[in-house]
Structure 1
Amino acid sequence: MKIRRFFGKDMREALSQVKAELGSDAVIMSNRKVADGIELVAAYDKEPEAKLSVSKPAQKAASTPQQQPMPSLSEIIGDDGPDSLKALLEKQHGGKNQSATKASAYKDEARPVGGNPQHANDIASHLDFSEAFIDEVESTPAADSFPSHQAASIDDSNTQSSGELAQIKEELASLRNVLQHQVADLMEAKQRRQQPVHHYLIQRLTDMGLSHSLASQLISYTPAHYNERDAWVYLLNLLANRINVTGNDILTQQGAVALVGPTGTGKTTTVAKLAARYAQKYGADSVAMITIDTYRIAAFEQLATYGKIIGCTVRKAQSSEELADLLFQLRHKRLVLIDTAGFSQRDSRLIKQIQQFENGQMQPVKKYLVAQANTQYPALQRIIEAYDGIELNGCIFTKLDECYSLGEVLSAAVEYQLPVSYVTDGQKVPEDIKVAEAKSLVSAAAKLYKKYGLNHTSSNNVIRTARAV
């Protein structure tokens, strides 16, 4: 037995050399990667007949490989399929259930013209095209196995395939959304036919400002035999029972209370209203006000003006250490109200301000969220989620006199289980502040819906087509 070595830039070229020089009877002894490509070690017993029977044009093509294209692996094994080892491997994996049929087809097609039919069997038995052999070659890094231009072409192909796959996923997601929308419409139409009163009431609750999820929950508890009016009254009472109120907790307790919330919600005015009410009940010496709003111009001067009118102490703190010192100095006061700076819920300074109350040397401070009652429901969600890291003892809804709908704030209070303490409906100090009551809030929401939400009460101005254009 004689042994020869063959070198090629890839497995395809090395196998082509073995086939061309040694014929079908060669046995692949080993393979390994080298710096320039692949090295194959082949063994043979005698000079192959295939080499002697090669025609002159074939010998000329073998002697001058630069003038004629190199025979591909598909031409060697007689396969019309893909012309790369990776594609061949994928085809082998995908066709395991029909391996016997494909093997016979390969044997029939691999018969050389004018040669022995047994050559196909020799190729299948001698040339090692097993999956383990191909996996070993394919696992070689691209920089060692392929030239740079071939590696770049493979990267471009992979990038293009990734882009096509992302586009397919996007189209499938779009189709899924369309199907979900259509199915939801069908289900809604079915429920509308089966329970027309419930569907009408859900529509009224959502028009009042409640979220669709909360409206669906309330409807699920409504008895089916109720008529429209009885069901509506039942829903309003059920909504009032879901709202948690704290009562007059700030003005009946002692300690330190901080009002937090976004800018423009009326925190300073609310602090002054609470201080004035507390001074009326326990005296001006029993209450004090502190502001840590060092960002807004004349914030301290505004609170100091209220303090002069009320007759209570007003202080300013610029850091958590100063706030802790002031709280210690004012520890003899029954109630200390802290006015904070107003930031957007997306402002990072909001978190830093909240961290001032987590000082270990500071006495416990109760925190109440101040939010406008006319805020959009998505904005209310973001505001409450911004304070998710701290414990809120309650909330105060301001500017009820500027609202056209109250369902949004009621939905936020119910869904986030946020207790409601007070509501304000004007700028007068201290008159325009009231203790929150669940039935009063629901009644106010129903009145606003009746006044502004119904079709026959809303002002729909007809615009001329020509003017609109």
Structure 2
Amino acid sequence: MRFVGVNSREAMRQVRAALGDEALILANRHTEQGVEILAMAESAAEDGNGGIGESTPRSAEPGRPAAPAPPDPTQAFEAMSARLLEEMRDMRSLLTERNRPESPETLGEKLIQTMLEAGFGQALAEEVVSALPEELARTAALDERALAWLARQLAKRLSGLDDEAAFMDRTGIVALIGPTGVGKTTTTAKLAARYVMSHGTRPVALVTTDSFRIGAHEQLRIYSRLLDVPMYALNADQPVSDLLERMKGKSWVIIDTVGMSQRDHRVIEQVGHLHGGDSPVRLVLLLNAASQPETLEEVVVRYRQAAQAAGGELNDCIITKQDEAGRLAPVLDIVMRHGLRLLFVSHGQRVPEDMVLAEPVALIEQALADRAPLTRPNVRQVAEPAVRNSGNLLGQGRRLAGVLQALRQRLPGFERLEEAWNLLGLPSTIQQQRLEELLSEYPGPGQVQGMMWSERRRVPGESWSMPDVALSPEGTWLALPLLQHRQVAGQKARLEASLERHLIDLHLMSGLPDGETGEWLEQRKLSWCSQVRGSQRVEHAGERLSLASLAGVGEGVSEERCRFRGGPARLSLSTLPVNVALKGSRRGQEHLAAQAWLGEVRDEESSRILGTRYWIAPARLGGESKPLLLTLLQGDVLPQLARRAWQRLDPAELGELRADLKLSMAGGLATVAAHLDLAEDEAAMDLRAELLGLGGGRRRRRDVALLESLIQLFMVRDTIRHLGLGERETG
């Protein structure tokens, strides 16, 4: 008999109830319904009918059972044989199903399987999928959008050489290091050839330290003659400084070092000799694409340790012998996890044709295109490689640097928010001085086209007011808001000052402008929109009514997707023409021809009403007002987020913190978190998921989780900087 329960305990309860405590369990498995158990009664063979006999027959006399018919031994044996045969078939089917590779169910599992099939390791696969955006995670479809997201995430983790010319133009010594047979001599010739093609032969020189391998000198000498550049020989135990006098006038020197196993203790000595001179030496590690992942891992770790022990750094690499590798993903996995910068990829012996500049996007596409089915039965049970925990802080530091760089590129003013954070812990007087300097030059020329003026009253429960938020020419909020107490007094004076300094022609306000300000706005035909309360009275059809009472009168315009209180929502908009009275207007200017907008916000899933909003804009703007009122609606969340950030910025944890600096940071963190929550483009989706994976995790409210993640991002950034593993020069 088969029994299905939501868990093992429930299924066993059914077994005991039907077959008793002596039931024989034949098999069990997990199904979509829960746990399925195959069982039979231990006495089934003894009762002669295999447990499948009919119920006891009754006589025609009501309630009186008839005597059971004597069992037929032949029929009982055949029935028992048939049942046992059926059970054997079921067990065989069950065993076959268990040995069949389990198909991944969620999109995350499918993406992990895709990476494993390509040759990427489990550690990197799980790290990437940990940042899977919720927009994609809702579906299990491994479609083009999901694969494009995967390619973007991998490409972001693969750092390349942005500008080959900048690398070549930087004078100094480049030393190629790596195990024996990795292709250092050929790569030395290829690099020299690329340099000669752009800079000529005069500034370059070749150096070899390989005195162990027969013919090593001669091979490089042949290349030097073909390229018409000088070659020098240096003993492996001889410091580079011994040659510097002979190489005066050479601005680019390439050293072909002796190949050593990563396990050779002389590796540290070799790297130490390379750093023995006064000229800086750039170390470049060569990685054989055809090597086993475990070997590559050991090569990177040991050579990096050697560089550190010698007082140097090893951040760059070149992949060699790509043409001999079955798959590209394993070596790319090593490069990404360790945060190395990949300069070039070599794929043959021809000089210089068989070496190209590393292009992360193309390499990732090539790696994902070359996939093979997994031999292990279950993605979730694939054995963890021995190198799972070998990724170091430098790799994480580069990942964090990538997130910070994306925020700088996306949000104008984010660099100033970083500068404000950098003031934490400084003495109060220095904080104040540097904050004054920072804010006096902010925002810069051309950065601002509009302003979202916050309410001129305190945030509930706090002693401060929400800072004002500037809008870029593209309509993006500037990351660092403007403190209210630094603005000039008076509404009209503030708007005039903003027009004079930044040529601002867009004003979003809380509440109607006063009469003087309204006249000033209308005289200059500036764009403006005010979010008002439902109690705001307007004149419509000859009557003076509140906006709330006109909710059913307006003409339906559209329904817009939006976010409200950290969740997806829909905004139903209606509008109607009204006249509004501006307080303090001169006689004859009491009423302004305006357009009233009424919005009803509903939960996207349940259609439950979440709130209503009202806006007033000049009638001359017509439908151009719609994006303005949407921006005002989105700004609703800023005071709440700023209040939460204010409470999270604890001086006991972060060091001395002035109130105005704390408010600048709290407002900035709120603005960035809200922007990322509201943005709908794929770049924002990726950045959002990356942040949530790094910091606060996923919470019920996404904007709050993003705020927590941003605070965590800055704190981890500080920690990594203190360890000396922060962002580095890329030239």
TM-score of the two chains, using structure 2 as the length reference: 0.34
Per-residue Cα deviation, 1:264-299 (whole angstroms, up to 9, x for no partner) = 110000000111111111111121000011111111
Partner in structure 2 of residue 241 of structure 1: 156
Give the 3-state SS of the residue equivalent to 2:327 in structure 1.
coil
Q: After the TM superposition, which residues 40-79 of structure 1 pair with which residues of structure 2 at under 5 Å, given as runs?
A: none
Q: Which amino acid aligns with 2:358?
A: A
* 1:258 counterpart = 2:175: yes
Q: In 2, Cα distance between the equivalents of 1:351 and 1:261? A: 12
Q: In 1, Cα distance between the equivalents of 2:103 and 2:191? A: 52
| Alpha-carbon spacing, 1:252–1:440, altered in 2? closer, same or farther (3 Å) | farther
1:349 deviation in Å?
2.3
| Alpha-carbon spacing, 1:326–1:433, altered in 2? closer, same or farther (3 Å) | same
> Does structure 2 conserve the Cα–Cα contact (< 8 Å) formed by 1:320 and 1:357?
no
Q: In 1, Cα distance between the equivalents of 2:110 and 2:239? A: 57
Q: In 2, Cα distance between the equivalents of 1:330 and 1:407? A: 40
> Does structure 1 conserve the Cα–Cα contact (< 8 Å) formed by 2:201 and 2:227?
yes
* 1:215 counterpart = 2:131: no
Partner in structure 2 of residue 271 of structure 1: 188
| Alpha-carbon spacing, 1:311–1:286, altered in 2? closer, same or farther (3 Å) | same
Q: Which amino acid aligns with 1:239?
A: L
* 1:371 counterpart = 2:281: no
> Does structure 2 conserve the Cα–Cα contact (< 8 Å) formed by 1:370 and 1:396?
yes
Partner in structure 2 of residue 60 of structure 1: none
Per-residue Cα deviation, 1:371-411 (whole angstroms, up to 9, x for no partner) = 11122211111001111231113000011112221111111
| Alpha-carbon spacing, 1:322–1:352, altered in 2? closer, same or farther (3 Å) | closer
1:220 deviation in Å?
2.1
Selected match of 1:337 from 227, 241, 254: 254
Q: Which amino acid aligns with 1:381?
A: E
Q: In 2, Cα distance between the equivalents of 1:295 and 1:439? A: 39
Q: After the TM superposition, which residues 409-424 of structure 1 pair with which residues of structure 2 at under 5 Å, given as runs?
A: 409-424=331-346
Q: Which runs of 5+ in 1 are unaligned?
A: 1-191, 456-469
Selected match of 1:204 from 107, 114, 120: 114
Q: In 2, Cα distance between the equivalents of 1:301 and 1:194? A: 55
- The CA RMSD measured in Å over matched residues stands at 2.1
Selected match of 2:274 from 350, 354, 357: 357
| Alpha-carbon spacing, 1:211–1:202, altered in 2? closer, same or farther (3 Å) | same
Partner in structure 2 of residue 170 of structure 1: none
* 1:446 counterpart = 2:362: no
> Does structure 1 conserve the Cα–Cα contact (< 8 Å) formed by 2:239 and 2:273?
no
> Does structure 1 conserve the Cα–Cα contact (< 8 Å) formed by 2:206 and 2:254?
yes
| Alpha-carbon spacing, 1:193–1:353, altered in 2? closer, same or farther (3 Å) | closer
* 1:306 counterpart = 2:223: yes
Q: Which runs of 5+ in 2 are unaligned?
A: 1-101, 308-312, 375-731
TM-score of the two chains, using structure 1 as the length reference: 0.53
Structure having greater relative contact order (Cα 8 Å, sep ≥ 6):
1
Per-residue Cα deviation, 1:233-288 (whole angstroms, up to 9, x for no partner) = 21111110111113325423211100000111100000001111111111111210
Q: Which amino acid aligns with 1:244?
A: S
Q: In 1, Cα distance between the equivalents of 2:104 and 2:154? A: 24
Selected match of 1:288 from 180, 205, 223: 205
Q: In 2, Cα distance between the equivalents of 1:328 and 1:447? A: 50
Q: Which amino acid aligns with 2:161?
A: T
Give the 3-state SS of the residue equivalent to 1:352 in structure 2.
helix
* 1:381 counterpart = 2:297: yes
Q: In 1, Cα distance between the equivalents of 2:285 and 2:142? A: 37
Q: In 2, Cα distance between the equivalents of 1:297 and 1:283? A: 30
Q: In 1, Cα distance between the equivalents of 2:107 and 2:239? A: 60
Q: Which amino acid aligns with 1:354?
A: V
Q: In 1, Cα distance between the equivalents of 2:281 and 2:249? A: 15
Q: Which has the higher helix share?
A: 1
Range with bigger deviation, 255-264 or 374-383: 374-383
Partner in structure 2 of residue 431 of structure 1: 353
Partner in structure 2 of residue 228 of structure 1: 142
Q: Which has the higher strand share?
A: 2
Per-residue Cα deviation, 1:318-347 (whole angstroms, up to 9, x for no partner) = 155463121232131120000001111111
Per-residue Cα deviation, 1:87-139 (whole angstroms, up to 9, x for no partner) = xxxxxxxxxxxxxxxxxxxxxxxxxxxxxxxxxxxxxxxxxxxxxxxxxxxxx
Q: What is the number of residues matched between the two proteins?
A: 261
Partner in structure 2 of residue 348 of structure 1: 265
> Does structure 1 conserve the Cα–Cα contact (< 8 Å) formed by 2:267 and 2:303?
no
Give the 3-state SS of the residue equivalent to 2:361 in structure 1.
helix
| Alpha-carbon spacing, 1:326–1:310, altered in 2? closer, same or farther (3 Å) | same
Q: In 2, Cα distance between the equivalents of 1:379 and 1:307? A: 32
Q: In 2, Cα distance between the equivalents of 1:423 and 1:323? A: 27
Q: After the TM superposition, which residues 82-231 of structure 1 pair with which residues of structure 2 at under 5 Å, given as runs?
A: 195-222=105-132, 223-226=136-139, 227-229=141-143, 230-231=145-146
Q: In 2, Cα distance between the equivalents of 1:454 and 1:236? A: 19
Q: In 1, Cα distance between the equivalents of 2:260 and 2:288? A: 14
1:195 deviation in Å?
4.2
